[in-house]
Structure 1
Amino acid sequence: MEVLRKSSAFAAEVLEVFERSLTEKELVSQAKALCRDFIVSRLNQNGLAWSKSELNLMPSGAALADVSSVLVCLGDELERILPSLYRNVACQLNISVAMETMVSDAFIGVATEIFSTGITWGKVVSMYAVAGALAVDCVRQGHASTVQVIVDSLGQFVRKYLAQWLKRRGGWLELTNCVVKKDLFPEHRWLSSALDSLRYYLTTMYVYIMKEA
């Protein structure tokens, strides 16, 4: 019994140290670094010349390399399922990418709607897909500086709504475990709620903006 008590106490100490290491600031910084990588991949896919150095972010580092790759691949799959949803998002929202405040408000509004019924990894991927699509619109229309606004807005949203959820799961690395342990692709069940939320939101966003103006 004494051995079990000592073992349990040690496990609790290890868990406490592990949780302390996952600070809100680190999780948000990683979220923004992942957003940068995701955006760069989307811009490259669309043949848009752009550099990571244009974003005010530190490199994501080797620790997040696998997460970034998985996130991009899942984003590809999400957009393959319903490509029209992640193209010309600014037009669908009827916003001007030249107006940074409008872009930020629209992104936060979309993210809020996506997670209105709970948090899942599928919805996290959907949020990044929206960020990437908006970034493509910004650069294509000559407003590359607005991309940083999107990244910062995503960071703000993660800090306010997702940081504790991420912390309970051990951080962003859990995304890679989720994909390895679960057969996500054949039926796409994990994406359905995210797609439904986003589809509804894109059709009502213009009314929302007009009411808030």
Structure 2
Amino acid sequence: MDQAMARRTGGGLIIPEQIMRTGACLLQNFILDQVRQAGGPVFEMSQDAGIKMLVQILKNITQDLDNNKEMQRLIVSVKDKVCTVAVFFQVANQLISEGITWSRVAALFYFASKLVLQALHSGMPEQIASIMHWTLDFLRERLLEWIQEQGGWDGLVNKYNDKFKWLTVAMTIGTCAFFLIRRLANLG
């Protein structure tokens, strides 16, 4: 494999195909989670711990986008039009117009999930596959090289996981304490 196909970062080979496979799985699971949270049907999601962690990180990053006026304006601008690949790419390009960051990659996934929800609510589920393809095409054409330079999806974990690690630790301790107290109460 030549250097054009894979870059050496962090001691490992980050292969574009791996980034795209993980990106596709992450996109699907993030969208399924957003659909479930919106009261839609519950679908089986990946049980892969890495994908689950990436979905949780994206959710944490995007949790405030429901209140972001600019993001909501972009979503409404698409809602008023027939969503085509050209319209999708126009909005996606606006999302990264000031540079690529993990927050903007997360915003792209959020945007795609909102389009999927609109398609479901509008009775046009056939658009879902198109939205997924457009998102992955944009990821491949505009974001892949940047993600590769960051060390692949591990770069997202490395940047944000420490911020959420203590929250996870606190939740785990709280859950353990709850079950311990409950168990002790049942013994008495």
TM-score w.r.t. length of structure 1: 0.63
Q: Could you tell me which amino acid in structure 1 is paired with residue 49 of structure 2?
A: A
- Give the alignment partner of residue 174 of structure 1, picking from 137, 155, 163: 155
Q: Tell me the equivalent position of 1:107.
A: 88
Q: Which runs of structure 2 are paired with 1:122-133 in the superposition (5 Å)? A: 122-133=103-114
Distance, in Å, in 2 between the alignment partners of 1:103 and 1:66 is 31
The yes-or-no answer on 1:33 pairing with 2:25 is yes
Q: Distance in 1 between matches of 2:158 and 2:9?
A: 19
How big is each residue's C-alpha offset from its partner over 1:89-108, in whole Å with a ceiling of 9 and x where there is no partner? Answer: 2x432223xxxxx4332221
Residues 1:25 and 1:159: Cα distance change in structure 2 (over 3 Å): same
Higher mean alpha-carbon deviation, 41-50 vs 173-182, is at 173-182
Mapped to 1, the partners of 2:39 and 2:50 lie a distance apart of: 28
Instruction: Detail structure 1 runs of 4+ shifted over 6 Å in the superposition.
Output: none
Taking only aligned residues, the RMSD between alpha carbons, in angstroms, comes to 2.8
Alignment of 1:8-87 (within 5 A): 15=9, 18-19=12-13, 22-49=14-41, 51=43, 59=46, 61-79=48-66, 81-82=67-68, 85-86=71-72
* 1:55-84 alpha-carbon deviations (Å, 9 max, x no partner): xxxx583332211111122222332x4268
**Alignment gaps of 5+ in structure 2:** 1-7, 165-188
Residues 16 and 127 of structure 1: is their aligned pair in 2 closer, same or farther, counting only changes over 3 Å?
A: closer
Q: 1:110 is aligned with what amino acid? A: V
Contact kept in structure 2, 1:88 and 1:133, CA below 8 Å: no
User: 2 CA distance for matches of 1:159 and 1:141?
Assistant: 28
Q: 1:179 to 1:87 in 2, by over 3 A?
A: same
Change (3 A) 1:46 1:174: same
The answer to whether the 8 Å contact 1:86/1:130 transfers is no
Q: Residues 145-184 of structure 1 correspond to what in structure 2 (within 5 A)?
A: 145-181=126-162
AA partner of residue 35 (structure 1): L
Q: Gapped runs of 5+ residues in structure 1?
A: 1-13, 54-58, 97-101, 184-213
How many residues are aligned here? Answer: 156
DSSP-derived class of the 1:71 partner = helix
Contact 2:65 2:71 in 1 (8 A): no
SS across alignment from 1:173: helix
Measure, in 1, the Cα distance between the counterparts of 2:154 and 2:140.
Answer: 17
Q: Is the 8 Å Cα contact of residues 36 and 52 (structure 1) preserved in structure 2?
A: no
Distance 1:179 1:136 in 2: 26
SS, match of residue 142 in structure 1:
coil
